[in-house]
Amino acid sequence: MAKKLVIDPIPRIEGHLRIEVEIENGKVKEAWSSGTLFRGFEILLKGRDPRDAWFITQRICGVCPVSHGHTSTLGLENAFGVTPPENALLVRNLIEGGQFVHSHILWFYHLNALDYVDVVSALKARPTSSYLKQVQGKLKAFVDSGQLGPFENGYWGHPEYKLPPELNLLAVAHYLEALEMQKKASHLVGILGGKMPMHMTTPPGGTTWSPRVDQLDDLLFRIREIKQWVDTVFIPDVLAIAPYYLKWANIGKGHLNFLSWGVFEDPSFDPKKRLLPRGAVFGGQLEVKDVGPAQIKEYVDHSWFEADSGNRNPAEGKTLPKFTGFHGDGKYSWLKAPRIDDHPMEVGALSRILVAYLSGNEKVKKLVDFVLKELGVAGKPQVLLSVLGRIAARVVETKVVIDAMEEWTLKLIENIKSGKTQTYALNDVPEKASGVGLWEAPRGALAHFNEIEGKKLKNYQCVVPTTWNASPRDHKGQRGPIEEALIGTPVHDPDKPLEILRVVHSFDPCIACAVHVIHPETNEVKVYRVV
């Protein structure tokens, strides 16, 4: 008989997520994903100076504020009709890159690794290096103190933990190192953006940061330090751990629909030429399709909103919140269910890397093929459409981005050297206009829509990554991507559902982002120009 299981809270994510599953014969038979916090955000933007939007929308998510800021600025530039100079693109790419690298390091080591690394087992290791002996000593003292803090009550000793003690210890050592590295990556944003989180320097028109050679020099050497760490620690860690978990290449596949709006601007402003380009993949077929925001529709059949809020493009979305409890009226989440032509879409690093790979991006192709070869599955990129693939994609992406950051910094230095110093294009808020910004956060596709009237924001709407990934069922009863990926997941011990955490964490959910997308005002039809 099926056994119901609720995991609430899901830890090591941003925000508040509840997962409910039905388990039968040791496997997940049904799954429901619920966003459990309602903030309401866009309403705050109404009537404001449009130039404030990029500051305010950063506060949607403290984990990827940079991406919200940039997406907002892109949408505003679209509305203002202003084109930022090349130096500003480079600065923005560097700021975005610092956040991506920070986010992926933090996700791998601090949010995700504890699903694969048994911290307690590391005590049994017999390290030979003094470095690892020291880490083990520290860990032992910590455990002996009886105050396990954040490590209390984990699923330690679970049979699904497969690493030998030595590798567990190495991972613990690198968990601590990575705490420093995520910080160093964030500090790159601090140099160019004033601070991280909530950087300050990329309004519509360009950047307020004036290039200073001493800061660029500082930046360059910091980037190289992180780059070296990615090459010598991050990538080898993943390649060392993955062979123990190869069966996860067959778990958590989901709908096999992938969406990327593209990220890291090219001077041509062509989204297909971005470092990670725009495109979509449907049904696991290895070809890239064009995609645009006019294809989006959001449904609320299983979300805590009144029926009239559903079946709409976000451009004309209505949102009438109505909390009815879990499964009252079949409703169970504060998230809407966005779809592309009625297809649930997975977003995130795997979608971006897949689209880049299939678009023939040389660098991405080389790295992905290298990873496939190392894992003994050369020439089979489809194995990456899985839990294991989501992990691998973030690592590949980290490498692609940190390498590009070095190149962008050198380019910026070269520009300054040759007297090309413009960083900002003067601009004005138009009387009446509208715009769309399409970009990517580390967690996936991000879209901001604005409408300006009388030099004020008349409307503002966002469609964010985790609304795609953690969405509930839609009008056709199709599950959201995380729900679908959970189906069939083996669960060894329902009291310690480690495997479910692995599937959920592979999407890196960020719920603050997802649940703000609600407009609690009633009876209002919003119309946006959708490009």
Partner 1 sequence: MRVKSALSLTRRDFLKIASGTLAYLGFSGSLAPKLASALEKAAKKRQPVIWLHFASDTGCTESLIKADKPTPAELVLDILSIDYNETIMAAAGHQAEENLNNAVKRGGYICVVEGGIPTKEGHGMIAGKNMYEIMEEVGKNAVAVVAIGACSFDGGIPAGSPNPSAIIGVREFFQRKGIKTPVINLPGCPVNPEFVIGTVVHVLMLGKVPELDKLGRPKMYYGRTIHDNCPRRAHFDKGQFVEAFGSKEEAMGYCLYKMGCKGPETYSECPRVLWNARLNWCIGAGSPCIGCMEPKFVDNLAPFYSRLANISLPSGDVSADKIGIGMAVATGVIVAGHAIGRVVTGGKKKEEEKE
Shortest distance in whole angstroms from residue 373 CB to partner 1 = 33
Report the residue number, 283 or 325, with the smaller CB distance to partner 1.
325
Report the residue number, 2 or 176, with the smaller CB distance to partner 1.
176
Shortest distance in whole angstroms from residue 12 CB to partner 1 = 7
Strands (E), 200-264: 258-260
Report the residue number, 49 or 342, with the smaller CB distance to partner 1.
49
Report the residue number, 183 or 224, with the smaller CB distance to partner 1.
183
- What residues contact 208, with CB distance under 8 A and at least 6 apart? 200, 201, 202, 423, 424
The answer to whether the CB of 497 falls within 8 A of the CB of 5 is yes
- What residues contact 391, with CB distance under 8 A and at least 6 apart? 108, 112, 238, 242, 506
Considering only the C-alpha atoms of the chain, give the largest distance between any 2 of them, rounded to a whole number of Å.
73
Q: Which of 357, 385, 497, 509 is nearest to 28 (CA)?
A: 497
Report the residue number, 78 or 112, with the smaller CB distance to partner 1.
112
Report the residue number, 148 or 530, with the smaller CB distance to partner 1.
148
Task: Report the SS3 class of residue 32.
Answer: strand
Shortest distance in whole angstroms from residue 509 CB to partner 1 = 12
Other Cβ atoms within 10 Å of 525 Cβ, number: 10
Shortest distance in whole angstroms from residue 62 CB to partner 1 = 2
Shortest distance in whole angstroms from residue 187 CB to partner 1 = 5
Task: Report the SS3 class of residue 148.
Answer: coil
DSSP characters for 301-339?
TTBSB-GGG-SB-GGG----B----TTBTTB-BSS-EEE
Shortest distance in whole angstroms from residue 176 CB to partner 1 = 5
Report the residue number, 65 or 381, with the smaller CB distance to partner 1.
65
Report the residue number, 59 or 224, with the smaller CB distance to partner 1.
59
Shortest distance in whole angstroms from residue 149 CB to partner 1 = 5
Q: Which of 376, 482, 346, 341 is nearest to 28 (CA)?
A: 482
**How many angstroms separate the CA atoms of 392 and 371, rounded?**
8
Is the dihedral angle over the CA atoms 223, 229, 232, 238 positive or is it negative?
negative
Shortest distance in whole angstroms from residue 235 CB to partner 1 = 22
